[in-house]
Structure 1
Amino acid sequence: MVDRRHLMSVGVGLGTALLLADTAAAASAPDLSELRRRVTRGRSAFRAARYADLAARLPALRRDALAARQLLNGAPGRVASAVLAQVHMLGSELGVKNGDSEAAWNHARAAVSAAETCGKATVLAEATRICATPLRRQGRSEDAVLLLRDTLGQLDTESSRAEPAHVDAAGALALTASYCAALAGREATALSLVDIAKNAVARLAKEQRPYAGDLSAHQVHLYQVGVHHLLGQDVVAVQIARQIDPRALPTGERRARLSTDTARALLALGDYDPAFTELLAVESAAPEEARRPSVRALTGEILTYRPNLVGLHDFAARTGAAPA
């Protein structure tokens, strides 16, 4: 069994002073039902790639969720811990989108800390999965794979009676681990983890009642684009991308992810014109995604090699990749 705390002890500090200040700012425990509604609205903002909206919501949401966890005990306290974990997951994901690896790591660790006390395996699994991106951005992709595979094993989804929520969580862990393994150059591991996710999708499809989780065949295909690109298999990555109908992806953030990963593969192949078309699709799906540092870097690469593409300079100016 992996020592989760040891793996997460290396790197940026947790920002304890900030959390304590948040606790002191709230005098009484907020209503849990209202907190969960606010988390849902925050999640909706993230999925729609309204990152400025989410950033405006998060400080008060974090303050109130932390106050609830500090002031409630028993079953309500565990619910508050789950809510706080979800708030920090949103904070970590927002940090990733903004290119702020320190914030992403701090929030990810805080999410795991809260999730460990909530008593729900799926919340802990998701919080642990969120740690993968800041870990790999610290150059610790191998640690991320180790952590995710251990968490995957602890879900115990081998039984035919495993809960659908656990199967869904296992598939999500496997996809994230596959991406980290690909980044570490571990092809066999990456592809075997994709197979685990495919198996999870197949199992969920056999449920008597449709399970409304995030895991789907489209999500698997989306990850395959990124995995094959990282493995240097860009022709395969583009072939898979061309088989995905963006309308089948559930959110603007996911559609933008597809176009971004496809653009990366096309740029690796030297196909600058279609890569720019993909960046335009990013902007169409989620305008704030096109202004992310990583996407601006892709725009800069096209500016370097194909500066005369029609519309490129206007795109670069309005997304911040070049002066207006």
Structure 2
Amino acid sequence: MRGARNARHLTQEQLGLMVGYSASAISRIEGNKMRLDSDVVPLMARALAIPAEWLSGAAVSEGPTIATVATGGTPDEEDAVRRRKLLTGALAAGATVIVGTGTADGLPAADLEDILFRLPNAEPVPLANLMAQTAAARQTYTTARYSDLGRTLPGLLATAEATRDAATGRERQQASAVLARTYVLAAELASKQHSDAAWVAADRALSAARASGTPVPVGEATRVLAITMRRSGRWSSAVHLLTREAAELDTTDTRTGAVRTTLLLTAAYSAAAGGDRTTALTLLDEAGEEVERRPAPGGLFTVDATRTQVDVYRIGVFNTLGTPDDGVKIAAGLNIGRMPTAERRARAWTDTARMWHALGDGQQTFAALRRVEQEAPQEAQRPALRALTSDLLYRPARVEGLRELAVRTGALA
């Protein structure tokens, strides 16, 4: 990659802009400290004018095979050591932003140091007030108002930390659960930008969740931590962590059953990222059965456990496995408009856009990208979506209205 980039006289920043990564991410990939997302490989190959096969080694899974529900995966001690090493590596790499630049993409310029290591001073508040503030922040996220959330998070995290520190007994456990959910939101937001800050936020979320002794926030925090593991190429560790946590949840309770479904869905996508089709589809089927047995109440999590959500994940899994044609029939039967939040509807249209893009249908890809923008303009401005829009723009077939979309979303300056 470095040789091809230099041959084309591109800086790391210029290459990053072409594929939706930061300059530091390009540096880490070239230094073999970070893996390429599978859907970025064709964009990177086109930007560098090299065959995609040359980049396959930068996007494959780690050496061990994917851990499945049946095999159990790596031992707990190895998993814990690996997690600590990964977290240390992320911090040592000097990750500096949680959600992007705050300029062209409309996302907040929230500095990692300011948010996670230099929280503003805050006083504890009544637990009911903190819960209301956290619920409002979640609403901001699910309506895809990421700039607003970025401005809210520093104060919310500081208040949640102060409230937890001042509490005792049962109230401290409850405050820990709320604190965990604020860090989950920070990790979700960081993941939108493929930022290493997600490691820090997810690790803190899980620590607070475990202190709460409550399974729901533990499940939520486990999910966002596993996503960061997957993005770093640790697919098997992510599957093992998710399936282990899912197995420990009470399957008779509606709330924990819903968390279990989201863990299984994330595990399925992680298995697909490692190329394990059998495990991915098995986990999807298990999630679907969970939804049929026990419909989940809405509004509990950033990802709802519904049949439509399972189908959207199935499309994403097929895209990741390299068989997007398997998702066409599923996409035809989707009613994305019935999904409860703008963020999830935009995510569903994103997976649909990637499916059509992989199948070479520019018109359908553009139509799906327009739906992303209609549902959540800031979602359409994410680097990964800008890269997809840019790639479509420079394909031979002309698509009416695409150039205007590229300008609006920052894919074309």
Normalising to structure 2: TM-score of the pair?
0.72
1:10 aligns with 2:10: no
Instruction: List aligned pairs for 1:74-113, cutoff 5 A.
Output: 74-97=169-192, 99-113=193-207
User: What CA distance in whole angstroms lies between the structure 2 residues aligned with 1:126 and 1:299?
Assistant: 31
Alignment counterpart, residue 60 of structure 1, candidates 134, 155, 160: 155
Higher relative contact order (CA 8 A, sep 6+): 2
1:125 aligns with 2:219: yes
- Change beyond 3 A, Cα 1:150–1:321: same
Residue 16 of structure 1 and its aligned partner are, at CA, apart by: 9.4
- Change beyond 3 A, Cα 1:227–1:33: same
Residue 63 of structure 1 and its aligned partner are, at CA, apart by: 0.4
Q: Which residue of 2 aligns with 1:194?
A: 284
Q: Find the residue that maps to 1:215 and give its secondary structure.
A: coil
Q: Which runs of 5+ in 2 are unaligned?
A: 1-74, 92-111
User: What CA distance in whole angstroms lies between the structure 2 residues aligned with 1:250 and 1:7?
Assistant: 36
Residue 307 of structure 1 and its aligned partner are, at CA, apart by: 6.4
Alignment counterpart, residue 25 of structure 1, candidates 110, 117, 121: 121
Which amino acid in 1 is paired with 2:121? A
Which amino acid in 1 is paired with 2:126? D
User: What CA distance in whole angstroms lies between the structure 1 residues aligned with 2:114 and 2:360?
Assistant: 48
Deviations 1:212-264 (A, max 9, x none): 45211111111111011111221111221121011111111111111111111
User: For the Cα contact (< 8 Å) 2:115–2:154, is it kept in 1?
Assistant: no
Q: Find the residue that maps to 1:33 and give its secondary structure.
A: helix
Deviations 1:46-104 (A, max 9, x none): 1111101111110000000011111211111111110110000000011112x142111
Q: Find the residue that maps to 1:131 and give its secondary structure.
A: helix
Q: Which residue of 2 aligns with 1:116?
A: 210
Q: Which moved more, 1:285-294 or 1:9-18?
A: 9-18
Deviations 1:81-129 (A, max 9, x none): 10110000000011112x1421111101110011110010121111001
- Change beyond 3 A, Cα 1:17–1:216: closer
User: What CA distance in whole angstroms lies between the structure 2 residues aligned with 1:125 and 1:12?
Assistant: 19
Q: Which moved more, 1:309-318 or 1:6-15?
A: 6-15
Which amino acid in 2 is paired with 1:106? V
User: For the Cα contact (< 8 Å) 1:2–1:150, is it kept in 2?
Assistant: no
User: What CA distance in whole angstroms lies between the structure 2 residues aligned with 1:191 and 1:78?
Assistant: 37
Deviations 1:286-309 (A, max 9, x none): 111100011001001101214632
Q: Which residue of 2 aligns with 1:302?
A: 392
User: What CA distance in whole angstroms lies between the structure 2 residues aligned with 1:18 and 1:291?
Assistant: 22
Residue 8 of structure 1 and its aligned partner are, at CA, apart by: 2.3
1:171 aligns with 2:267: no
Q: Which residue of 2 aligns with 1:230?
A: 320
1:243 aligns with 2:345: no
Q: Find the residue that maps to 1:10 and give its secondary structure.
A: helix
Instruction: State percent identity of aligned pairs.
Output: 38
Q: Which moved more, 1:186-195 or 1:265-274?
A: 265-274
User: What CA distance in whole angstroms lies between the structure 2 residues aligned with 1:79 and 1:19?
Assistant: 21
Alignment counterpart, residue 41 of structure 1, candidates 136, 159, 176: 136
User: For the Cα contact (< 8 Å) 2:284–2:310, is it kept in 1?
Assistant: yes
Q: Which runs of 5+ in 1 are unaligned?
A: none
Normalising to structure 1: TM-score of the pair?
0.91
Alignment counterpart, residue 134 of structure 1, candidates 214, 228, 231: 228
Residue 18 of structure 1 and its aligned partner are, at CA, apart by: 6.5
- Change beyond 3 A, Cα 1:17–1:5: farther
User: What CA distance in whole angstroms lies between the structure 2 residues aligned with 1:146 and 1:114?
Assistant: 21
* Alignment: residue pair count: 312
